[in-house]
Amino acid sequence: MTTSPTLTTPAPGVDYPGKTLGVIGLVASILFMFVGLVISLVALNQSKKAGYRNTPAKIGVIVGIVLTVLWVLVYVGTAVVAISYS
């Protein structure tokens, strides 16, 4: 059985791998769902490899997934309504 590495929370004001990219990914997740999701996943992976927690990247992943799923549902729903009225 393997044990997962312990992730540390960085001190306030300290820069760590993926921090800036995590914030960019979070903002991009709100504006450009899928692009922000990918950026947040990259930032989360970088931080995890360095042994740090990256809360903005984790939130960016969640927001990106939720908004992408909602966009797909709206797109499919609109297509179904358009086809039914044709």
- Provide the b/e sequence for 35-49 (b: ≥16 CB within 10 Å): ebbbbbbebbebbbe
User: Does residue 10 lie within any of the structural domains?
Assistant: no
CA dist., res. 33 & res. 15, Å (int):
26
Encoding tokens for residue 28?
């991009």
User: Does residue 70 lie within any of the structural domains?
Assistant: yes
Q: How many domains does the chain have?
A: 1
User: Does residue 9 lie within any of the structural domains?
Assistant: no
Summarised one tens digit per residue, pLDDT across range 23-78 is 999 999 999 889 999 999 999 999 999 888 889 999 999 999 999 999 999 999 99
pTM value > 0.85: no
User: Does residue 46 lie within any of the structural domains?
Assistant: yes
